[in-house]
Structures are given as C-alpha cells and as structure tokens.
Structure 1
Amino acid sequence: MDIEIKVKESRFNYRVGAIILNNNKILFMKDGKGDYYYLPGGRVKLHETSEEAIKREIKEELKIDVEIERPLWLVENFFVEDVKKEKHHELGIYFLINIKDNGITKKNKFIVYENNNKKLEYTWLSFESLKNEYLYPEFIKERIFNLPKTMELIVEKEENGEYI
C-alpha cells in the first residue's frame, strides 16, 4: 500500500525521486497526464525504506537495476497539482543514482510501457535547458549545478501558482 492520504481536495504523498545523470544531462519523464516533466520515481509503500522504494520504482519503470550513490535532498513540497487541481503536501527523498547502462543513455528520448500498459516517455534534458522547461520539482533547475555532498532539507511552497 502506497503511503498516501487523501482528505477532501487535499493529498499527502511520501515519494522518492531519482537523479540519473549522463554527460551533463538529467533523465526526466512524462506520463501523459500533464505537459510537465518530472523525475523518475514514485510513492513509497508502507513498511518500505526509501532506498528500497527507489530501487523498486526504477526497476518497475525502466526495467533496470540501480545503485544508490547517495541521498541528495529531503524535500517538503506544498503545491497544487496541475491536472486535478488538488492541493498536495509531499515529502520526497531524492537520490543520486548510478545505472548499469542498458542502452538508455544512448537514446535522447525513449518510451517504456508499464505492466498496466501505462505509457511513460523519458527524455534526457541538458542542465542548461532546464530553466526553459516546464518541470517539477522546480528547485532542480538551480540545484543540479551543485549537488550536495550530504543530504539537504528543501522546503518549497507554492501559492497562487508561484513558489514563495
């Protein structure tokens, strides 16, 4: 069971995200629900560690085994989701991930279908292009240039479509 609580028009999520790098590019994805990019990963399950969750999510989505280099950020994010317009309070742990190349680093874009036939579109975005992309989490646009050596806490709060 995913760690997620829904209360009226609000939702709490506990998720993990993968920072997968390749030649000054970072892997982002879209799932067809919205026009924005986001980082590979997903929700943590009850009684699952964040490290177990990121390994499971990447295995499910990309069909590859990964090695966790280190946790980068613990993010407390408050936002309104773009498609359903639900208020979200999300805790996310973002990991720097090493992959065993199965060919995905050679393709600029590629598509993977999950077991439920859900289409996932992956794209390698250059660090420089991030500032012009519609993507979440927003802090990646700046922080990707200087990855922390130890985990940092980030709090992002969106009000009326603007991060404050």
Structure 2
Amino acid sequence: MDCGFEKEDGWFRYRAAAIIIENGQVLFAKNEVDDYYYSVGGGVHLGEKAEDAVRREVFEETGVEYEIERLVFIHENFFHGTGSLEGLKCHEIAFYFLMKPRGSQELNSNSYSLGGREYMHWLPIEKLRDYLAFPSFFAEKLTCISDTVEHIVTYESI
C-alpha cells in the first residue's frame, strides 16, 4: 500500500523517484493518456524506505536494476490534478535519487500505470525546456547537480 491518501478535494502522496542519466540524456516515462513526460518512480509503500522504493520502482518501470549514487533533491510539489486526479488539489513529497550510470541506455521496460502503457524516453538534458516534462526544475538543476541535497518547493500547473 502506497503512503498517501485522498480526502475531500485533496490528494497526497509520498514518492521516491530516480534521476537516471546516460550520455547527456535523462530518463523519463510517458503513458498513452497524458501529454507530458514524468520522472521514473512511484509511491513509497507503508513501512518501506525511500531507497528501497526507488530501486523497486526503477526495476518495475525499466526492467533494469540500477544502484543508487545518492539523494539529490527533496521536492514538495503542489499542483492541480488532471486525469485520474481531475479536480483535486494535490500535494506530493518526493525524494529524488541520482542513480549510478550503467554506460548503456538499453532497457527492458514493460510498464503499466493508471494512465495505461508506459514508455521510457531518453530526453537530452540541454533541451529539457523544449518538452512538457515534470518536475520542471530538472531543466535547470540537472545541468549542474549540486554536491548537497537541495529542498525544492514548486507550484506546478499542467
């Protein structure tokens, strides 16, 4: 069971997500329903450490076991829901982990989400601003990743 809840017109989730970079490109997911890209990752299960959740989610979505390099961002994201979250005021707390590169962009993905079949996409970091991709702060922050953990708060709109 994911750590999260829905109450009245609000939705909350605790998420663990990955930053997977190979050859100047970062891995994003996209499903058959939504018109935007999103980071690889998902809900942390009750009683699960964020580190274990990100490894599990990355494997589920990519079919590849990646190792964690380190925690890079703690992200508080406030947004208005769309799709299955339509009409909800959403609040998500996500831990973003930089994964160790493998030297290959080859994946074995067969992932599905609430939005249907998921596809993995390698997007060039230098051109992230050209894509509707979330979290949007990746476009700036991935060009020069800090040595310290950064706390980022965003108010996103899709």
The two structures share one fold, judged by TM-score above 0.5: yes
Q: Give the aligned partner of residue 24 of structure 2.
A: 24
How far apart are 1:132 and its partner, in Å? 1.1
Task: Give deviations 1:73-126, integer Å, cap 9, x for gaps.
Answer: 00011011232242111100000012546x6x158xx8624499x511111100
Native 8 Å contact 1:60 1:114 kept in 2: no
How far apart are 1:32 and its partner, in Å? 2.1
Distance 1:67 1:99 in 2: 8
**TM (normalized to structure 1)?**
0.85
Q: Give the aligned partner of residue 88 of structure 1.
A: 90
Trace 1:3-152 onto structure 2 (pairs within 5 A). 3-83=3-83, 84-100=86-102, 105-106=105-106, 112-114=110-112, 118-152=116-150
Distance 2:95 2:23 in 1: 23
More moved, 51-60 vs 74-83: 74-83
Seen in structure 2, the aligned counterparts of structure 1 residues 68 and 86 have a Cα distance that, compared at 3 Å, is: same
Number of matched pairs: 155
Seen in structure 2, the aligned counterparts of structure 1 residues 111 and 47 have a Cα distance that, compared at 3 Å, is: closer
Distance 2:113 2:94 in 1: 24
**TM (normalized to structure 2)?**
0.88
SS of 1:34's partner is: coil
Native 8 Å contact 2:30 2:36 kept in 1: yes
SS of 1:70's partner is: strand
Distance 2:28 2:57 in 1: 14
Q: Which 5+ residue runs of structure 2 have no aligned equivalent?
A: none
How far apart are 1:152 and its partner, in Å? 0.9
SS of 2:82's partner is: coil
Distance 2:91 2:106 in 1: 36
Distance 1:90 1:53 in 2: 15
Q: Which 5+ residue runs of structure 1 have no aligned equivalent?
A: none
Distance 2:147 2:133 in 1: 24
Report runs of 4+ in structure 1 exceeding 3 Å deviation: 113-116
Distance 2:87 2:102 in 1: 37
Task: Give deviations 1:42-68, integer Å, cap 9, x for gaps.
Answer: 000001000000011111111211110
How far apart are 1:3 and its partner, in Å? 0.4
Native 8 Å contact 1:79 1:87 kept in 2: yes
